[in-house]
């Protein structure tokens, strides 16, 4: 009887997480109603131009890197969703970012997502998304093996893999010609403490890598007389907030006596 109860609990736990994962993966209402991109519309042309710009920027290297890109994508209307997101092999783009005024923020995100799309990271992320996002002690006590992948997902995966992959995606964004735009976006982010198992690298580490790549390319262009030696790369650095000087009150005017 105890064995039957344990098997039922084990199957029920896996069924719950499987239904939740499939619902998030395929339910169009999870992040708003996704809309397919139509060739010729303004939003679709913005994305297509980003793909063409990335391919043209990759041609400046001796060994051209050929990247696969999503043939189709959907728009999502959820305002708090990521700018771009891979749900399996489906690319979701937040619709409010598909305007010419938002291209500087959209372009580095699309360039970075190509790294996940052209590697097996999308596959591993899709598998890990099936498991819980937090470790539950009751699963360990009851012997339900679902806690083992969860423990790997929240500890080993961000520490030993995902942080390095984000750094690799930043390098790919620079190769796709979006290094300066990505640097500008990161440089204005507020400095905040990071937990030990956070999947993001340190902000200064990402900025340092991008600065080194941008300056190295700029020096190469100077050596080949493509850029004047007096021109420096337009890197955006943190500026200390200026403290406004206290304004002196205008002297009070003494009323003239009436004689």
Q: How confident is the model at residue 197 (pLDDT cuts 50, 70, 90)?
A: confident
Residue 243 CA to residue 164 CA, distance in Å, equals: 38
- Asked whether residue 95 carries a pLDDT value surpassing 90, the answer given is no
Question: SS3 for 73?
Answer: strand
What is the pTM assigned to this prediction? 0.78
The set of residues, in sequence order, having a beta carbon less than 8 Å from that of 245 and lying 6+ positions away, is none
Q: How confident is the model at residue 245 (pLDDT cuts 50, 70, 90)?
A: very low
Calculate the alpha carbon distances from 67 to 24, 59, 76, 104, 161 in Å. 27, 12, 24, 21, 21
Residue with the larger pLDDT of the pair 58 and 77: 58
Residue with the larger pLDDT of the pair 170 and 241: 170
Q: Report, as an integer, the average pLDDT of 186-197.
A: 84
pLDDT of residue 36: 66
pLDDT of residue 28: 66
Nearest to 98 by CA among 36, 46, 62, 139: 46
H-only helix segments in the chain: 2-26, 42-58, 103-117, 121-128, 137-142, 147-151, 157, 163-175, 179-187, 203-223
Task: Determine what percent of the chain is predicted with pLDDT higher than 70.
Answer: 83
Calculate the alpha carbon distances from 220 to 124, 180, 225 in Å. 37, 16, 9
pLDDT of residue 172: 95
Torsions phi, psi for 243 (to 5 deg): -90, 120
């Amino acid at each position: 009887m105890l064995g039957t109860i344990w098997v039922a609990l084990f199957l029920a736990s896996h069924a719950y997480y499987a239904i939740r994962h499939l619902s998030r993966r395929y339910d169009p209402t999870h992040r708003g109603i996704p809309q397919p991109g139509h060739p010729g519309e303004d939003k679709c042309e913005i994305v297509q131009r980003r793909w063409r710009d990335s391919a043209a920027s990759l041609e400046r290297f001796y060994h051209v890197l050929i990247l696969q890109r999503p043939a189709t994508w959907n728009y999502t209307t959820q305002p708090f969703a990521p700018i771009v997101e891979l749900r399996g092999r489906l690319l979701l783009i937040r619709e409010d970012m598909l305007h010419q005024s938002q291209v500087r923020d959209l372009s580095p995100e699309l360039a970075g997502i190509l790294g996940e799309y052209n590697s097996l990271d999308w596959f591993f992320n899709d598998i890990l998304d099936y498991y819980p996002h937090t470790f539950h002690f009751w699963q360990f006590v009851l012997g339900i093996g679902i806690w083992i992948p969860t423990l790997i997902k929240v500890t080993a995966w961000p520490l030993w893999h995902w942080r390095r992959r984000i750094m690799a995606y930043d390098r790919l964004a620079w190769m796709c010609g979006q290094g300066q735009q990505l640097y500008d976006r990161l440089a204005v982010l507020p400095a905040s403490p990071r937990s030990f198992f956070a999947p993001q690298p340190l902000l200064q580490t990402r900025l340092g890598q991008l600065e080194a790549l941008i300056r190295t390319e700029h020096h190469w262009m100077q050596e080949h007389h493509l850029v004047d030696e007096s021109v420096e790369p337009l890197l955006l650095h943190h500026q200390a907030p200026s403290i406004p000087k206290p304004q002196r009150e205008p002297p009070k005017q003494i009323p003239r006596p009436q004689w």
